[in-house]
Amino acid sequence: MDIDIPKMDLSTGAQMPKLGLGTWQLTGETCVKAVDLALQMGYDHIDTADVYGNHREVAEGISGHDRESIWITSKVNRGSLQYDEVLATCEKNLGELGVDYIDLYLIHWPDESVPMEETFRALKKLRDEGMVREIGVSNFMVEHLTEALEVAEVPIVNNQIKFHPMHQPWEVVEMCRENDISVTAYSPLARGEIFSSETMQRVAEEVDRTIPQVALRWLLQQQMIVIPKGSSEEHLRENLQVFDFHISPEHDEDIRAMG
């Protein structure tokens, strides 16, 4: 498939693909094949994390593809946020992924037991040394973002949060927008819950698309990056076909009312 996935301009000038493959709970050969197939189909953004335990499978999936054309996001886990541990974890992750750099490295969850300044100091060092290109956060709510913005010495370019039609923390999104932080929506399909929504069923029928396509398109129109999980060719293709239709203002209102 020859689909050119649009890019999001980040505050640093970097361009992040607006749609990626989420790999949470993808392991073993299933993960290898999903990553390889996705890249063959036109995906150019893979989202993983240290805690997922699938870096080696992702590495196998991206081997044979042009590294420079792939955006890789990974995350340092909540239990590894001390300065030395952040550095060691990133070095380990680079080895597992078989790459020289990670495009975007996120703090997976905030941890109040470690001074945030310490973690961001480590992320700055990784960025300064070229081990990561960009840094960001995940699962950071307003209070976490407030502190992060005070202590980070390099731009926080992304906050990856749970966001879908049935869970809409707009206050976090608004704060990100005010501070030029892009938002990635994880669990964009609500782990399947959206299939039982009458609103989503109706909108999907009216626009002649599937429920997942409606959910993803709606999030994209909110200027969010989406990382749906998929392993079968059918689902990978379905999730990719979201750039040739629009959600109307009326349908947007209906979906917003779900949250």
Query: Across the chain, what does the average pLDDT equal?
Result: 98
Is 251 part of a structural domain of the chain? no
pTM of the model: 0.97
Average pLDDT for 220-242: 97
The domain containing residue 123 runs over which residues?
A: 13-191+222-232
- Domain with 25 in it: what CATH number? 3.20.20.100
Question: Looking at this protein, which amino acid is placed at residue 233?
Answer: E
Average pLDDT for 89-97: 99
pLDDT in the model for residue 3: 82
Task: Give pLDDT tens digits for 109-141.
Answer: 999 999 999 999 999 999 999 999 999 999 999
Query: Domain total for the chain?
Result: 1
The strand pair at 102-107 and 21-22 is best described as: unpaired
* Torsion angle of C-alpha atoms 25, 28, 33, 35, degrees rounded to 10: 50
β-bridge mates for residue 102, sequence order: 132
- Does 52 qualify as catalytic in the annotation? yes
Task: Label residue 175 left, alpha or beta by phi (over 0 means left) and psi (-120 to 50 means alpha).
Answer: alpha
Quote the distance between the C-alpha of residue 237 and its chain's center: 18
Is 81 part of a structural domain of the chain? yes
Query: Are 130 and 101 in contact, with CB atoms under 8 Å apart?
Result: yes
Is 175 part of a structural domain of the chain? yes
Residue 209 pLDDT > 80: yes
| 39/233 Cα distance (integer angstroms) | 11
Task: Give pLDDT tens digits for 186-200.
Answer: 999 998 899 999 999
Is 44 part of a structural domain of the chain? yes
Is 22 part of a structural domain of the chain? yes
Task: Give pLDDT tens digits for 1-47.
Answer: 568 899 999 999 999 999 999 999 999 999 999 999 999 999 999 99
Q: Over pLDDT 70: what percentage of the chain?
A: 99
Question: Collapsing DSSP states into helix, strand and coil, what is residue 113?
Answer: coil
Is 132 part of a structural domain of the chain? yes
Is 4 part of a structural domain of the chain? no
- Residue among 157, 148, 154 at smallest CA distance from 180: 157
- Residue among 231, 229, 230, 224 at smallest CA distance from 247: 224
* Torsion angle of C-alpha atoms 62, 63, 64, 66, degrees rounded to 10: 60
Is 41 part of a structural domain of the chain? yes
From the candidates 52, 83, 101, 186, give the one annotated as an active-site residue: 52
